[in-house]
Amino acid sequence: MTEFLFRDIPDMTIEQFEKFSKYILEVAGIYLKEHKITLLSNRIRKRLRELKIYDYDQYYEYLTNSNHSNNELIHFLEVITTNESYFWRTTQNFEAYKNIVLPDILKLYRNREIKIWSAGCSTGEEPYNIVIESIESMKTLGFFPFIVIATDISNRVIEIAKQGCYSGRKIERIPEHILRRYFRQSKEDPKIFCIREDIKSKVHFKVENLFTSTVRNIHVIFCRNVLIYFQKKEQEILANMFYDSLLPNGYLFIGHAESLQMFNTQFKILHTEFGTIYKKEI
């Protein structure tokens, strides 16, 4: 079958969409609304082309058949997740981190290694940004040991994150002096900037589904622009899981378009000059 014929495969039917979206909800907790039919069809079509499978039902059988499912599930999750990320995203979170969260955490945990979790870290911009801001904060707060644990359900994005090389939109908001200090410019392609090795070594990457996460004893969680993909029920499950993963008086940041206000959680909601932060106040 030629490329032309693959492009000719129409969007999936509502019934097919329902079958796939039910499966996606089961395996990744992600809820797709019906208007995402074209988006999902486009993304699965790529996979059909690679596997030379000619329709969605056949692909569904292939995906859910236990002989292939573990392997194919990895590819499937790659095509359905949205991994948009960039450095210096919603910088008011980092202002709150440096001015409110870290001073408070260090009061209680000064001689302990501070553990920060980037949950849904995509291609690594967020965890590396946390390392840079943590080091920058030491100018006023003094030295403290820390590590960043960075997890994502997608193996592909974690591999990109581990390389730590970026260009274009992903780095355009980084202040010039920070870019010079924490990155090195590629000799082969001057448009590409790679994060310094010692900064890289502060981040521990792991492929992990948030719904089966084992990350615990954390001081600060960043889970930004991830909850938006889930239904209310799953968002509440994750909010409570984050609460359990935090140490007493730990903090949670979520995306600026996300909120936990309507949920039944034990988080204390702090409205600060740098936006809303959630605290496990004990």
In the complex, the residues that contact ligand SAM under the rule CB under 6 A are: 28-30, 81-85, 89, 120-122, 125-126, 152-154, 157, 209-211, 224-226, 229
Residue among 125 and 133 whose Cβ is closer to ligand SAM: 125
Nearest residue (CB) to ligand SAM, 41 versus 122 = 122
- What the block records as the tokens of 99 is 């001015």
User: In whole angstroms, how close is the CB of 265 to ligand SAM at the nearest point?
Assistant: 19
Closer residue to ligand SAM in complex, CB, 137/235: 235
Q: How far is the CB of 8 from ligand SAM (least distance, A)?
A: 30
In the bound complex, what is the minimum distance in angstroms from residue 80's beta carbon to ligand SAM? 9
Closest separation in Å from C-beta 151 to ligand SAM: 6
Torsions phi, psi for 239 (to 5 deg): -60, -45
Q: Between residues 126 and 133, which has the closer beta carbon with respect to ligand SAM?
A: 126
Q: Which is nearer to ligand SAM, 42 or 140 (CB)?
A: 42
CB of 5 to ligand SAM, least distance (A): 30
Q: For ligand SAM, which is the closer residue by CB, 194 or 215? A: 215
Secondary structure (H, E, C), the chain: CCHHHHHCCCCCCHHHHHHHHHHHHHHHCECCCHHHHHHHHHHHHHHHHHHCCCCHHHHHHHHHCCCCHHHHHHHHHHHHCCCCCCCCCCHHHHHHHHHHHHHHHHHHHCCCCEEEEEECCCCCHHHHHHHHHHHHHHHHHCCCCEEEEEEECCHHHHHHHHHCEECHHHCCCCCHHHHHHHEEECCCCCCCEEECHHHHCCEEEEECCHHHCCCCCEEEEEECCCHHHECHHHHHHHHHHHHHHEEEEEEEEECCCCCCCCCCCCCEEEEECCEEEEECCC
d(Cα 82, Cα 257) in Å, to the nearest integer? 16
Cα dihedral 76, 36, 20, 5 in deg (nearest 10): -70
Between 163 and 209, CB nearer to ligand SAM: 209
Q: Closer to ligand SAM at the Cβ: 59 or 253?
A: 253
Q: Rounded to the nearest whole angstrom, what is the least distance from the CB of residue 24 to ligand SAM in the complex?
A: 10
Closest separation between CB of residue 54 and ligand SAM, Å?
Answer: 28
Q: Give the shortest CB-158-to-ligand SAM separation in angstroms.
A: 9
The span from the first CA to the last CA of the chain, in angstroms, equals: 62
